[in-house]
């Protein structure tokens, strides 16, 4: 006769025992055993083995060490004040890849991985979300910055160079113009259009292509000036916009 596997109640085991059972199950899977076999060996549901294997792959062995899963009624918080401050400081300093994590942005999963690696505490995602709210973090769309951008040069220009230009313009009765050039083309980029399956829509347009160049400027007071011209911008054309 084949015996029936009995699932353990992890809540009644010590933290050290829980951690050891996690390591045993993960080691069995890595050695070629199935998750069902590993689950039967340690006496848990196979879903838990799957979570442990994934956690170990993402965050290393620290994720298997266990620890309390966040704040429960009557219990202290899982992280100390010093740990919270250190984690918050790391998140503010840069993206996850800067700290060797395989995430591009600070999602709850990425923050959980950081917490597990730095403190050995494995938290659920809702608990991670509560910590983030406590730290004053909100989910935001990242702003894009060119890798070539030189922040120190930008700061120096704003704090020193531009104020000097503004003072000189005021003294000479001049207006500061913020100018840029661009191009206009008849080659429009169309998006998608709904149509019956297999009947691709057709947009008719002239086959002859044309393009024009344009330069425009805007003052601090909102006055707009622009000019359309042929060919490339040169000093003669530029002088006509002054």
Give me the residue spans of the domains in the chain: 10-64, 81-134, 175-185+208-242
pLDDT for res 146 = 83
pLDDT for res 161 = 94
Other Cβ atoms less than 10 A from the Cβ of 67: the count is: 19
Distance CA 65, CA 40 (A): 20
How far lies 234's CA from each of 55, 108, 184, in Å? 61, 53, 18
Whole-structure pTM value: 0.42
- For the chain (242 residues), the mean pLDDT of every run of 10, in chain order, is 54 78 87 88 84 83 66 61 92 90 91 93 92 91 83 92 93 90 74 78 76 87 87 75 58
How far lies 120's CA from each of 66, 79, 125, in Å? 7, 10, 15
The answer to whether the beta carbons of residues 56 and 19 sit under 8 Å apart is no
- List the strands of the sheet with 177-185, edge to edge: 177-185, 211-219, 224-229
pLDDT for res 70 = 46
């Amino acid at each position: 006769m084949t015996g029936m596997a009995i699932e353990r109640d992890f809540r009644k085991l010590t933290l050290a025992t829980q951690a050891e059972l996690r390591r045993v199950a993960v080691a069995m899977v890595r050695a070629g055993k199935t998750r069902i076999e590993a689950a039967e060996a340690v006496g848990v549901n196979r879903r838990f083995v799957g979570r442990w294997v994934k956690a170990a792959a993402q965050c290393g062995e620290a994720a298997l060490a266990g620890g309390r899963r966040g704040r429960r009624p009557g219990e202290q918080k899982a992280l100390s004040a010093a740990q919270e401050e250190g984690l918050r400081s790391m998140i503010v300093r840069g993206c996850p890849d800067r700290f060797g994590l395989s995430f591009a942005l600070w999602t709850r999963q990425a923050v959980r991985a950081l917490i597990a690696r730095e403190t050995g505490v494995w938290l659920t995602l809702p608990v991670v979300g509560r910590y983030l709210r406590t730290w004053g973090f909100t989910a935001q769309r990242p702003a894009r910055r060119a890798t070539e951008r030189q922040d120190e040069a930008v700061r120096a220009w704003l704090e020193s160079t531009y104020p000097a230009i503004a003072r000189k313009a005021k003294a000479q009765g001049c207006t500061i113009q913020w100018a840029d050039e661009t191009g206009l083309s008849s080659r429009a980029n169309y998006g998608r259009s709904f149509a019956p399956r297999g009947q691709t829509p057709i947009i008719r347009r002239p086959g002859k292509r044309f393009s024009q160049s344009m330069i425009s400027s805007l003052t601090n007071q909102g006055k707009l000036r622009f000019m359309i011209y042929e060919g490339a911008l040169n000093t003669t054309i530029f002088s006509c916009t002054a």
